[in-house]
Amino acid sequence: MRKYDNFCSNLAVLSQASEQDLNNEFIIGGIIDKFFVQFELGWKVLKELLKYEGSSVSASGSPRAIIKEAYKTYDFIDEGTWLEMLEKRNDLTHIYDGKKARELANLIIEKYVPEFEKIKCCIADIYGDVL
């Protein structure tokens, strides 16, 4: 599945965030941008998997609906974390100061990257032959 491949490729880059200079605003901006792309790829991968499973919710264009349905379908989805990521993604255009950007970068590194890594592995375990 092309979306899953893109998800994995982007995650490989985003996973390096913890090794970067978090005092550099350019680096912080790059981490936030990569997170935005990673989140988009993530919910779209979930959408494709739900479609494969025959879920009618997969016809929805709503990330929230996809996340909620994925939570019902898969035991490896942390609904609270995914809904929090959706909220953070939606708030990205309102981050104007460096302190909030650094806080978000730390949250991405500490909480969101591990969640992306977890679903990457779980999806590979379940759908290895299909991907």
Above 90 in pLDDT, residue 129?
A: no
Given CATH 1.20.120, say whether it is the number of domain 2-127: yes
Q: What is the pLDDT of residue 60?
A: 86
In the chain, domain spans: 2-127
Q: Is 46 exposed, middle or buried (0-12, 13-18, 19+ CB in 10 A)?
A: buried
pLDDT in tens, 15-67: 999 999 999 999 999 999 999 999 999 999 999 999 999 999 999 889 999 99
Above 80 in pLDDT, residue 111?
A: yes
Mean pLDDT of the chain: 94
